[in-house]
């Protein structure tokens, strides 16, 4: 759960802004603040999907989990190491 929150916090904030804007637009139709917030939330969601995510950071003593164990075994076998 913590990893999910760390990787998707921007999406969650953008959704919060979007839903707040929709609620304001429905509850106070004369105010244009709701429309602006809804548009800002949609733009933030669009920008988050357009920008590539950072590569995962390696913690001390931990391997990056980019390949499966089967690939690791085949690479070790080709090098001649058990």
Q: What is the pLDDT along the chain (82 residues), one digit of tens a residue?
A: 888 878 888 888 999 999 999 999 999 988 889 999 999 999 988 887 666 656 556 666 666 555 556 666 666 666 665 5
- The predicted model scores a pTM of 0.55
Note down the domain range covering 37.
1-52
- pLDDT given for residue 17 in this prediction: 93
Is 64 within a domain? no
Tell me the C-alpha to C-alpha distance, in Å, between residue 55 and each of 7, 18, 42, 60, 66.
11, 27, 25, 16, 11
- pLDDT given for residue 2 in this prediction: 83
- pLDDT given for residue 29 in this prediction: 86
Is 29 within a domain? yes
Is 79 within a domain? no
- pLDDT given for residue 23 in this prediction: 94
- Determine contact, residues 37/21, Cβ cutoff 8 Å: yes
User: What's the structural domain count of the chain?
Assistant: 1
**Cα dihedral 66, 71, 73, 78 sign:** negative
Is 67 within a domain? no
Is 19 within a domain? yes
Sequence-distant (≥ 6) Cβ neighbours of residue 11 within 8 angstroms: 45, 48
């Amino acid at each position: 759960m913590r990893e999910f929150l760390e990787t998707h916090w921007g999406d969650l904030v953008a959704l919060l802004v979007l839903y707040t804007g929709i609620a304001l637009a429905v509850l106070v139709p004369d105010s244009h603040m709701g429309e602006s917030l809804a548009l800002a939330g949609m733009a933030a969601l669009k920008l988050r999907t357009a920008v590539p995510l950072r590569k995962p950071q390696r913690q001390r003593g931990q391997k990056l989990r980019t390949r499966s164990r089967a690939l690791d075994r085949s690479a070790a076998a080709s090098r001649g190491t058990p």
